[in-house]
């Protein structure tokens, strides 16, 4: 399994719209593409992204397929007015 981290800050005044879009559009679309959401963290204090979500995909190739897809680009475009500092990071698994 490959861990993928998605982080962003919500635009002030758009928090509810952003959360609804995440729950009703992003999570189902990512699930359909093979991404399994495992955790979501909300930062209330400190200098970190406001939202940090994690999930898993089976392989590094799956991560590339999902996050380089036209569907993901559409999600990113829809998030632009709702978020700032959107980042996707793939965490390479340790070799055992």
Q: Is the overall model pTM greater than 0.85, yes or no? A: yes
**pLDDT averaged over every residue in the chain:** 94
Sequence ranges of the domains in the chain: 2-91
- Name the pLDDT band for 92 (thresholds 50, 70, 90): confident
- CA 84, CA 23: separation in Å to the nearest integer? 18
Q: Where are the alpha helices (DSSP H) in the chain?
A: 15-21, 27-33, 60-67, 70-79
Which listed CATH number (3.60.15.10, 3.30.470.20, 3.30.70.100, 3.20.20.140) goes with 2-91?
Answer: 3.30.70.100
Q: Could you read off the pLDDT of 39-74 as tens digits, one per residue?
A: 999 999 999 999 999 999 999 999 999 999 999 999
What is the separation, in whole angstroms, between the first and last Cα of the chain? 13
């Amino acid at each position: 399994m490959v861990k993928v981290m998605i982080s962003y800050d919500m635009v002030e005044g758009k928090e509810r719209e952003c959360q609804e879009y995440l729950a009703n559009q992003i999570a189902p679309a990512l699930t359909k593409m093979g991404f399994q959401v495992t955790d979501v963290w909300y930062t209330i204090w400190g200098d970190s992204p406001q939202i940090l979500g994690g999930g898993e995909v089976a392989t590094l190739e799956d991560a590339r397929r999902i996050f380089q897809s036209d569907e993901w680009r559409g999600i990113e475009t829809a998030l632009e007015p709702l978020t700032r500092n959107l980042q996707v990071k793939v965490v390479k698994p340790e070799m055992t």
